[in-house]
A and B are shown apart, each in its own frame.
Chain A
């Protein structure tokens, strides 16, 4: 009796302790409870994603409901806005943070560009959202960078300072132009993903032109015109038409201003 009761209780103990470890949480390690992720949280999340998601294992995405919160957290623009747009925080602090986030954003974009054997994006909806996230981030990033340059310059209005600032703004415009390359792969996107991408271009390109009106949009106009010929989806063609109108208006207004002076 003594031996069997000892065995019985050993069994209870073992089952209780092992049951505490069963059913691991898919969100474990991601700090999903935090309202805002900082650069360290992004780095942590991307490290976990890359470590866990080898081979056929999927990245956090909408098709895995248990991991959807992770993806939503990754593309939440408030994560960087609450730091980069908080003027109470120091400029150097915000600029340093933005540099760390820039690397994270780039890594994130590359991670979700995987395609299948039909050249379709495996995570097309997620990729479209990441591109929109990246577009919004870049606007804040370049604004902050230029603000720091002007702050550190002896004379913010000196020609060489203005030149550097303009070059940075042009880099941003060029990055946006390059983003239009995804139109070549429009068939790789699902309809829903394409709609998200198109909405992002509508919104963020308009903001870009509004915030940086003095940049050179000639290359972007050329790209948009060529892409319009390549595009097949109606929503993409329509988006490009609107974009071309905006770009044309911007370029013509600059020509008119130059003529006036």
Chain B
């Protein structure tokens, strides 16, 4: 059973105890002040326990205790497993395997004056590895290629904007972003599926070669800033 369930059971029992106590007290019809005190106590307990649970849950999404700001794609060569600062969820495995890594990378689009910026980032505090002292170049390489796939999707996005015959409206930009997010998600899934998370080494090499070619073919779109006039 997952640890979260134990935490929820614990708080559930705690609340049941509190509720039953309140019911018992109310049945005895206590004085108004006592009633107010009881209600206040319960509210405070529920509030703080809720905040605590939220804080813990958030920690497994983004490690704010060891926060590092997102790393842009231009600095991908500097990334090592030391930059994977996120927390692996307790008992989380990859098909039963304990030895794995998980990278979070994304591109996003925004407007700055007359320009559209489509930037690709790696999120250190949301990415994690089972052992940060690990020196497994193959596993790191597999994760970095997830980042390359994100950048490839971003370059395709930039290409489409640059080739547009007229300036891109906000709605169009949003629709295009969604389109390339879906494309990226699909490619990421295929990559993991066909290489089986780098277990199939021949397939991994083949994908690396393909992605390198794709990025090279879109080298003119590596600049995140696009003029939208």
User: Which A residues contact B (CB, under 8 angstroms)?
Assistant: 1, 5, 9, 12-13, 16, 20, 31-36, 82, 86-89
Known contacts A13-B13, A16-B9, A35-B196, A86 near B96 by CB under 8 Å: no
14 more contacts with CB within 8 A, not counting A9-B17, A12-B16, A88-B201, are: A1-B24, A5-B20, A16-B9, A16-B13, A20-B1, A20-B5, A31-B95, A33-B96, A34-B96, A35-B196, A35-B199, A86-B201, A88-B205, A89-B202
Q: List 16 A-B contacts (CB under 8 A).
A: A5-B20, A9-B17, A12-B16, A20-B1, A31-B96, A32-B96, A33-B93, A34-B96, A35-B196, A35-B199, A36-B196, A82-B196, A82-B199, A82-B200, A86-B201, A88-B201
Task: State whether B97 touches A34 (Cβ < 8 A).
Answer: yes
Task: State whether B20 touches A87 (Cβ < 8 A).
Answer: no
CA A9 to CA B19, docked complex, whole Å: 13
CA A16 to CA B205, docked complex, whole Å: 49
Task: State whether A35 touches B202 (Cβ < 8 A).
Answer: no
Query: Using a Cβ cutoff of 8 Å, how many contacts connect chains A and B?
Result: 40
- Nearest opposing residue in chain B for A93, CB measure: B201
- For A5, what are the chain B residues with a Cβ–Cβ distance below 8 Å? 20
Task: State whether A88 touches B16 (Cβ < 8 A).
Answer: no
Chain A interface, DSSP helix/strand/loop, else mixed:
loop
User: Which B residues contact A (CB, under 8 angstroms)?
Assistant: 1, 5, 9, 13, 16-17, 20, 24, 93, 95-97, 196, 199-202, 204-205
CA A88 to CA B196, docked complex, whole Å: 15
Known contacts A33-B95, A35-B95, A36-B196, A87 near B202 by CB under 8 Å: yes
- For B5, what are the chain A residues with a Cβ–Cβ distance below 8 Å? 20
Which of B13, B20, B93, B200 interacts with A86 by CB under 8 Å? B200
CA A169 to CA B96, docked complex, whole Å: 38
Known contacts A9-B13, A82-B199, A34 near B205 by CB under 8 Å: no
- For A88, what are the chain B residues with a Cβ–Cβ distance below 8 Å? 201-202, 204-205
CA A87 to CA B205, docked complex, whole Å: 11
Task: State whether B95 touches A86 (Cβ < 8 A).
Answer: no
A13 to chain B, nearest CB (A): 6
CA A151 to CA B74, docked complex, whole Å: 42
B31 to chain A, nearest CB (A): 20
- For B201, what are the chain A residues with a Cβ–Cβ distance below 8 Å? 86, 88-89
B212 to chain A, nearest CB (A): 15
- Nearest opposing residue in chain A for B200, CB measure: A82
Q: 9 closest Cβ contacts across the A-B interface?
A: A33-B95, A88-B202, A20-B1, A86-B202, A33-B96, A31-B96, A34-B95, A88-B201, A88-B205
